[in-house]
């Protein structure tokens, strides 16, 4: 009993709750369906275990499933690593180069970002992945990328099993008209399956084939995108920061030269920053090796410049029409309904008279921060998200630059 109590703690039970989300439910269902159908098709209809090839094929299918689930659950439960609550740099003078997070009541370490879903500042945050219901960051980046590699490989193997099962079982029943395709079916004719390949079995195999091919294409593309940033020792967020840095320099025609500080000028060195034999990434998630021409706060200083530029470019709008925060509002016009942003970023409810500082938008939607009272700002509250453009109108007087909230940092 004491042994169980040391393993099953309240913290562990809280982590298990991550499984109760549509992302892990769908991901694990796809893995279960493809793996189960591949094993059943192999043993019963395509490649029996009493053959050498069938035994090897069975072991490979089991290995794919184990490796995929191992990396998937590690990516989910190991987590990205979080900046300690109330963290501050050892050298207090360095605090001027860092952003402050009012939610976590501490400074944001280099490469960290606050995740609204996890409600914590995440070490080297890449993105919040709904499929693992957790962030991808410093500690689980290798597990997550390995999962993105193994899932397409395993699904490709399963897809071959599904195709060959349907072909061999339907060979005698359907004339495909493939006069140029010559496959030796003598071994298949000699093999008597344990049960007939019925219509439900065909439908289940065809459905699993669709899942396997879809997963191979979709997850395979994600793997190549992820490896592109890994080999440059970046994250998806940092790639976006680098693009904005170039735009800012070009817009203001400054003589600055922005060098991404964490690219070690060698793909192999960048690769080893994430992948290690022990599975534990290099570093503590706070201090990082940097380019010789940069220092620890090169990126954080650039972020502060971009935050200041964002406040300068923000436009003040006043709400003229109530909005309840619906993702696809039916009473705001057909175009607004069908052109809703395809993102997990929140929508914010609006009331007439509210003031919004908009920072970006589309033809039908806008994104911005709601101007709050000082007491809510001191409490760390912040309301930002998407809202229909038709609900606001631009203020004819420029108070965005003089508003008290515009002088405050973009804390989260």
Least confident range from 28-32, 67-71, 92-96, 173-177: namely: 173-177
Average pLDDT of the chain to the nearest whole number? 86
The answer to the question of residue 69 being in a domain is: yes
Query: What is the tally of structural domains in the chain?
Result: 3
Q: Which residue has the higher pLDDT, 5 or 101?
A: 101
- Tell me, yes or no, whether 18 and 163 share the same domain: yes
Q: Which residue has the higher pLDDT, 402 or 123?
A: 123
CB 128 within 8 A of CB 343: no
Return phi, psi of residue 15, to 5°: -70, -35
Mean pLDDT of 9-19: 70
Q: Which residue has the higher pLDDT, 254 or 219?
A: 219
- Tell me, yes or no, whether 321 and 284 share the same domain: no
The answer to the question of residue 42 being in a domain is: yes
Whether 187 has a pLDDT exceeding 60, the answer reads no
pLDDT of residue 348: 93
Give the end of a domain, one of 253, 278, 307. Answer: 307
Res. 87 pLDDT band, cuts 50 70 90: very high
- Tell me, yes or no, whether 201 and 278 share the same domain: no
Q: Alpha helices of 176-296 — where are they, by DSSP H?
A: 186-190, 199-230, 236-252, 267-272
Could you read off the pLDDT of 230-246 as tens digits, one per residue?
Answer: 999 999 999 999 999 99
- Tell me, yes or no, whether 181 and 42 share the same domain: yes
The answer to the question of residue 105 being in a domain is: no
Residue 156 burial (C-beta neighbours within 10 Å; 0-12, 13-18, 19+): middle
- Tell me, yes or no, whether 39 and 169 share the same domain: yes
The answer to the question of residue 219 being in a domain is: yes
Domain extent for 41: 2-79+141-230
> Is 20 among the residues known to form the active site?
no
Catalytic residue of the set 129, 136, 155, 391? 129
Whole-angstrom Cα distance, residue 341 to residue 161? Answer: 39
- Helix, strand, or coil here: 369? strand
For residue 393, what is the domain's CATH number? Answer: 2.30.30.40
pLDDT of residue 378: 57
Mean pLDDT of 114-123: 93
Give the end of a domain, one of 230, 259, 282. Answer: 230
Whether 6 has a pLDDT exceeding 60, the answer reads no
Q: Is pTM beyond 0.75 here?
A: yes
Give the end of a domain, one of 307, 333, 360. Answer: 307
Whether 208 has a pLDDT exceeding 70, the answer reads yes
Q: Alpha helices of 263-297 — where are they, by DSSP H?
A: 267-272
CB 274 within 8 A of CB 149: no
- What whole-number percentage of the chain has pLDDT above 90? 63
- Tell me, yes or no, whether 75 and 10 share the same domain: yes
pLDDT of residue 98: 95
In angstroms, the Cα distances linking 296 to 99, 111, 183, 194 are 14, 10, 62, 65
- Tell me, yes or no, whether 27 and 145 share the same domain: yes
The answer to the question of residue 133 being in a domain is: no
pLDDT of residue 412: 39
- Tell me, yes or no, whether 247 and 368 share the same domain: no
- Tell me, yes or no, whether 396 and 328 share the same domain: yes
The answer to the question of residue 129 being in a domain is: no
Whether 184 has a pLDDT exceeding 60, the answer reads no
Could you read off the pLDDT of 310-367 as tens digits, one per residue?
Answer: 888 889 999 999 999 999 898 999 999 999 998 878 899 999 999 999 988 899 999 9
The answer to the question of residue 340 being in a domain is: yes
- Tell me, yes or no, whether 199 and 300 share the same domain: no
Q: Which helix (H) or strand (E) is 319 found in, with range?
A: strand 315-319
Could you read off the pLDDT of 376-409 as tens digits, one per residue?
Answer: 555 567 788 999 999 999 987 654 444 444 344 3
pLDDT of residue 239: 94
Whether 146 has a pLDDT exceeding 90, the answer reads yes
The answer to the question of residue 27 being in a domain is: yes
Q: Which residue has the higher pLDDT, 128 or 401?
A: 128
- Tell me, yes or no, whether 191 and 146 share the same domain: yes
- Tell me, yes or no, whether 324 and 255 share the same domain: no
Strand pairing class (106-107; 100-101): antiparallel
CB 307 within 8 A of CB 411: no
Q: Which helix (H) or strand (E) is 157 found in, with range?
A: helix 141-170
């Amino acid at each position: 009993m004491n042994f169980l109590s040391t393993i099953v703690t309240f913290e562990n039970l809280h982590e298990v709750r991550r499984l109760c989300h549509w992302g892990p439910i769908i991901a694990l269902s796809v893995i279960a369906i493809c793996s189960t159908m591949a094993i059943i098709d192999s043993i019963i209809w395509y490649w029996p275990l009493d053959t050498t090839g069938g035994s090897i094929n069975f072991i490979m299918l089991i290995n794919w499933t184990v490796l995929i689930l191992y990396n998937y659950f590690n990516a989910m439960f190991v987590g990205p690593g979080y900046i300690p609550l109330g963290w501050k740099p050892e050298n207090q003078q360095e605090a001027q180069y860092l952003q402050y997070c009012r939610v976590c009541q501490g400074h944001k370490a280099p490469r960290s970002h606050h995740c609204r879903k996890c409600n914590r500042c995440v070490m080297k945050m890449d993105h919040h992945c709904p499929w693992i219901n957790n962030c991808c960051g410093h500690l689980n980046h290798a597990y997550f990328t390995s999962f993105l590699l193994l899932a397409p490989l395993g699904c490709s193997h399963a897809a071959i099993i599904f195709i060959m099962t349907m072909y061999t079982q339907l060979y005698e029943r359907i004339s495909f008209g493939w006069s140029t395709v010559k496959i030796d079916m003598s071994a298949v004719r000699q093999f008597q399956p344990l049960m007939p390949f019925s219509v439900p079995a065909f439908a289940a195999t065809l459905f699993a084939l669709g899942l396997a091919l879809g997963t191979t294409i979709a997850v395979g593309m994600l793997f190549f995108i992820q490896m592109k940033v890994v080999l440059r020792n970046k994250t998806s967020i940092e790639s976006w920061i680098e693009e904005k840095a170039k735009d800012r320099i070009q817009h203001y025609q400054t003589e600055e030269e922005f060098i991404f500080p964490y690219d070690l000028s060698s793909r192999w060195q960048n690769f080893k920053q994430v992948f290690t034999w022990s599975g534990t990434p290099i570093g503590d998630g706070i201090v990082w090796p940097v380019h010789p021409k940069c220092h620890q706060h090169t990126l954080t200083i650039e972020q502060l410049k971009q935050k200041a530029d964002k406040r300068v470019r923000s436009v003040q709008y006043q709400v003229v029409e109530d909005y309840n925060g619906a993702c696809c509002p039916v009473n705001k016009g057909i175009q607004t309904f069908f052109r809703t942003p395809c993102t997990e970023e929140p929508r914010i409810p609006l009331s007439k008279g509210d003031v919004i500082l908009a920072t970006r938008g589309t033809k039908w939607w806008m994104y911005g921060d709601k101007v709050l009272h000082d007491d809510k700002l001191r409490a760390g509250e912040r309301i930002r998200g998407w809202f229909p453009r038709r609900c606001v109108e631009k203020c004819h007087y420029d108070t965005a630059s003089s508003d008290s909230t515009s002088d405050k940092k973009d804390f989260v």
